[in-house]
Amino acid sequence: QVQLVESGGGLVQAGGSLSLSCARSGSFFASNAMGWYRQAPGKQRELVAVIASSDSTNYADSVKGRFIISRDNAKNTVYLQMNSLKPEDTAVYYCYSHGRGGPLAPVRDYWGQGTQVTVSS
């Protein structure tokens, strides 16, 4: 089965930096996009950044200019470099991949288990 595993979360002071990575494993026919969402306590999951197979990117307004998303197709990995972190960035960050596990399988979203990012004042 397809699995997404995040790593790199942790505790950092405001103004600091942190990098996340997400590796995809298992059979996967195609991936149209990969990205990151986050969910703070009591809030809905929200888009942070997404990168398409064409390498085009899109960011939430709250992270533009601070976060950078990238991908390495050879490694089946997507990255999120987070700079100038703010306390409001504190959340569980989830990796996702949009694609399908076979040529006849339906397109769907795949999600990682999440990694905690905590930014202190």
* Local mean pLDDT, 10-residue blocks, the chain (121 residues): 91 98 82 91 96 93 98 90 98 93 86 97 93
Residues 72-93 have pLDDT tens digits of 988 889 999 999 999 999 999 9
Task: Supply the pLDDT for residue 99.
Answer: 86
**Rounded Cα gap, residues 108 and 45, in angstroms:** 17
Q: Can you say whether the dihedral through the CA atoms of 100, 106, 112, 113 is positive or negative?
A: negative
- Please give the span between the terminal C-alpha atoms of the chain, in angstroms, as a whole number: 40
pLDDT of residue 1: 77
CA trace torsion 44, 48, 52, 56 (10° rounding): 140
From the CB of residue 14, how many other CB atoms can be counted at a distance below 10 Å?
Answer: 13
